[in-house]
């Protein structure tokens, strides 16, 4: 259920962005056919865009909120009471706070789902009532009505209406206003307005708590009436006679909200549209504004790639990582194909101060540092940052490039990162600063130049990752901040 709630939120945001642009730029234009097409496009595109598999390099604020909702348990207990009496009080308080926020999210989700059930049940009831109208009516013939349209005479009906290929009319309207009423309702049938209403009703049922969904539905109904009014006036009915008929019908009760009726929509708004001048053709250029709006919707629907964190082969949480001694961290392996970050520890603690530093004796500015630089928030925060921002270059994937890249960088006295450089492999020195483990044998067409290009892409990706890191807490010697060199190995691995 949590996944559907997240999808509905993305759907609602997308619909709101697109509809707001329509209401701002196109709502008052007289391009009724174009406005109808735009509104239908919004109804169709808004639920589909959240399904497009797009990913961002960095998680957005909206993505962070939706991730919190997606991680909320919608069934079962939100927290379990610890059996250990010596449990930390702060940890228990944090767990209780998280359970309380999760409880509110669960209540909101339940209310939302109950609202959907009530809205769908109401719509089904209206459909059944419509079937009752069809069943009690008597089909009649009329010279203006073609054979593929069913004209139903209902002796109790005072408000002429239509749905799909059925037109419902009462005896009074059949005798006094048959030509005008039939022109109006046949326009609805011919243009397929009932299908539009069904689509908008379904959207309103699923997004019942979104006001913009109901506003869009009303605007779509107004456009339907503008098109039908235009068809009536083009059919030979005078504007004065048509106005008098609309005023008389405005005081009568509408049959069902899902049906097209003569009094549907605001009469004052319809009169204003009849008298207003036609919009300029240049007004169609406003449609170009939908292009950046669609791009914004794609960005809203995009999700950040989250990598799973594994400690010595075991899946761990962020809380677990925060309890790890930084001195025992040996390496971080990022597996792009499986969206995993593998953290390995040494068997015994090594007094390195974190980040796997390499201190060379010839560089006296950072030799014998007592406290190594630290990422803001510690080692766990650094590994989370890497999991959210590391990207496997496409050129490296195409050339099957994988391996370990050792990135050298300096943390200055103010914590800034400088001199970022991916070290070249150096077999003569007895160690490899960058190690490419293997290339797939089936890709025998890859040349040495392609391999080098893939390796360079891995190096550039690693350097870009380090350059984007926030300032570190600087290394210290005798309590004083000093310039320090750090080497961080990052492993890339394909299937």
Q: Is residue 149, in this structure, part of any structural domain at all?
A: no
- N- to C-terminal Cα separation, the chain: 32
Q: Is residue 161, in this structure, part of any structural domain at all?
A: no
Q: Is residue 87, in this structure, part of any structural domain at all?
A: no
Q: List pLDDT tens digits, range 81-91.
A: 444 454 455 54
Q: List pLDDT tens digits, range 225-251.
A: 999 999 999 999 999 999 888 888 877
Considering the domain architecture, whether residues 253 and 314 belong to the same structural domain is answered as no
Helix (H, G, I), strand (E, B) or coil at 34: helix
Nearest to 167 by CA among 265, 74, 255: 255
Considering the domain architecture, whether residues 287 and 330 belong to the same structural domain is answered as no
Q: Which residue has the higher pLDDT, 278 or 392?
A: 278
Residue 351 pLDDT more than 80?
no
Considering the domain architecture, whether residues 246 and 322 belong to the same structural domain is answered as no
Considering the domain architecture, whether residues 392 and 280 belong to the same structural domain is answered as no
Residues present in the chain in total: 495
**Last residue of one domain, picked from the residues 240, 274, 301:** 301
pLDDT at position 179, please? 93
Phi/psi of residue 38, nearest 5 degrees: -65, -45
Considering the domain architecture, whether residues 294 and 356 belong to the same structural domain is answered as no
pLDDT at position 168, please? 93
Record the pTM: 0.63
Q: Is residue 96, in this structure, part of any structural domain at all?
A: yes
For 342, residues 6+ apart whose C-beta sits below 8 A from its C-beta are: 310, 313, 332, 333, 334, 335, 491
Considering the domain architecture, whether residues 334 and 209 belong to the same structural domain is answered as no
Q: Is residue 33, in this structure, part of any structural domain at all?
A: yes
Considering the domain architecture, whether residues 281 and 314 belong to the same structural domain is answered as no
Nearest to 403 by CA among 492, 487, 333: 492
Asked whether 382 and 488 are in contact (CB, 8 A), the reply is no
CB atoms within 10 A of CB 260: 27
CA-to-CA distance for 71 and 64, rounded, in angstroms? Answer: 11
Q: List pLDDT tens digits, range 151-199.
A: 999 888 888 999 999 999 999 999 988 999 999 999 999 999 999 999 9
Mean pLDDT of 18-28: 92
Mean pLDDT of 466-478: 86
Residue with tokens 């989250």: 306
The secondary structure of residue 370, as a DSSP letter, is S
Q: Is residue 421, in this structure, part of any structural domain at all?
A: yes
| pLDDT band for position 428 (cuts 50, 70, 90) | very low
Q: List pLDDT tens digits, range 319-345.
A: 677 677 666 776 676 665 556 677 777
pLDDT at position 222, please? 93
For 139, residues 6+ apart whose C-beta sits below 8 A from its C-beta are: 150, 151, 152, 153
What value does the mean pLDDT of the chain take? 79
The secondary structure of residue 473, as a DSSP letter, is B
Q: Is residue 86, in this structure, part of any structural domain at all?
A: no
Considering the domain architecture, whether residues 340 and 372 belong to the same structural domain is answered as yes
Q: Is residue 150, in this structure, part of any structural domain at all?
A: no
For 168, residues 6+ apart whose C-beta sits below 8 A from its C-beta are: 133, 137, 152, 154, 157, 160, 161, 162, 255, 259
Domains identified in the chain, total number = 2
pLDDT at position 80, please? 44
Which two tokens mark 65? 């909120």
Residue with tokens 């940890």: 91
Q: Which of 58-67, 115-124, 449-458 has the lowest mean pLDDT?
A: 58-67
Considering the domain architecture, whether residues 295 and 312 belong to the same structural domain is answered as no
Handedness of CA 96, 99, 103, 105 (dihedral sign): positive
pLDDT at position 68, please? 66
CB atoms within 10 A of CB 327: 16
**Last residue of one domain, picked from the residues 239, 273, 301:** 301
Considering the domain architecture, whether residues 183 and 265 belong to the same structural domain is answered as yes
**Last residue of one domain, picked from the residues 269, 301, 333:** 301
Helix axes 2-25, 89-136, angle to 10 degrees: 60
Helix (H, G, I), strand (E, B) or coil at 153: strand
| pLDDT band for position 280 (cuts 50, 70, 90) | confident
Considering the domain architecture, whether residues 438 and 293 belong to the same structural domain is answered as no
Mean pLDDT of 258-263: 76
State the residue range of the domain holding 103: 2-77+92-138+176-301
């Amino acid at each position: 259920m949590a996944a559907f709630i997240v999808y509905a939120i993305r759907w609602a945001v997308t619909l709101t962005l697109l509809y707001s642009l329509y209401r701002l730029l196109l709502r008052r234009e007289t391009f009724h056919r174009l406005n109808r097409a735009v509104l239908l496009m919004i109804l169709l595109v808004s639920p589909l865009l959240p399904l497009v598999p797009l990913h961002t390099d960095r998680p957005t604020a909206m993505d962070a909120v939706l991730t919190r909702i997606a991680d909320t348990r919608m069934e079962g207990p939100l927290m379990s009471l610890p059996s250990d009496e010596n449990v930390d009080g702060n940890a228990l308080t944090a767990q209780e706070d998280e359970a309380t926020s999760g409880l509110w999210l669960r209540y909101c989700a339940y209310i939302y789902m109950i609202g959907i059930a009530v809205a769908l049940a109401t719509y089904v009831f209206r459909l059944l009532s419509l079937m009752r109208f069809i069943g009690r009516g008597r089909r009649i013939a009329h010279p203006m009505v073609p054979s593929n349209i069913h004209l139903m005479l209902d002796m109790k009906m005072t408000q002429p209406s239509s749905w799909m290929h059925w037109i419902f009319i009462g005896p009074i309207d059949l005798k006094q206003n048959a030509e005008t009423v039939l022109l109006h309702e046949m326009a609805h049938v011919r243009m397929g307005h009932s299908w539009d209403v069904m689509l908008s009703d379904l959207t309103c049922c699923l997004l019942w708590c979104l006001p913009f969904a109901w506003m869009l539905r009303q605007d779509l109904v107004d456009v339907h009436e503008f098109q039908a009014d235009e068809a009536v006036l083009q059919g030979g009915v005078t504007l004065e006679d048509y106005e008098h008929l609309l005023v008389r019908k405005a005081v009568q009760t509408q049959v069902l909200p899902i049906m097209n009726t003569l009094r549907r929509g605001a009469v004052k708004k319809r009169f204003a549209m009849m008298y207003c001048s036609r919009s300029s053709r240049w007004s169609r250029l406003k449609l170009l504004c939908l292009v950046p709006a669609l791009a914004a919707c794609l960005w809203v629907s995009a999700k950040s790639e989250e990598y799973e964190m594994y400690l010595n082969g075991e899946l761990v949480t962020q809380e677990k990582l925060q309890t790890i001694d930084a001195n025992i961290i040996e390496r971080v392996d990022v597996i792009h194909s499986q969206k995993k970050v593998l953290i390995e520890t040494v068997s015994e603690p090594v007094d390195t101060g974190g980040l796997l530093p390499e201190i060379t004796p010839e560089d006296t500015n950072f030799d014998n540092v007592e406290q190594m630089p630290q990422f803001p928030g510690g080692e766990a925060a650094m590994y989370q940052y890497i999991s959210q921002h590391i990207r496997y270059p496409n050129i490296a994937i195409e050339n099957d490039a994988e391996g370990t890249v050792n990135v050298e960088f300096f943390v200055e006295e103010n914590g800034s990162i400088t001199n970022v450089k991916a070290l070249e492999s150096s077999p003569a020195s007895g160690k490899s600063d960058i190690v490419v483990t293997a290339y797939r044998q089936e890709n025998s067409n890859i040349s040495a130049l392609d391999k080098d290009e893939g390796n360079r892409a891995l190096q550039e990706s690693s350097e870009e990752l380090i350059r984007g890191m926030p300032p570190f807490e600087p290394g210290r010697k005798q309590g004083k901040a000093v310039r320090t060199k750090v080497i961080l190995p990052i492993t890339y691995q394909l299937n």
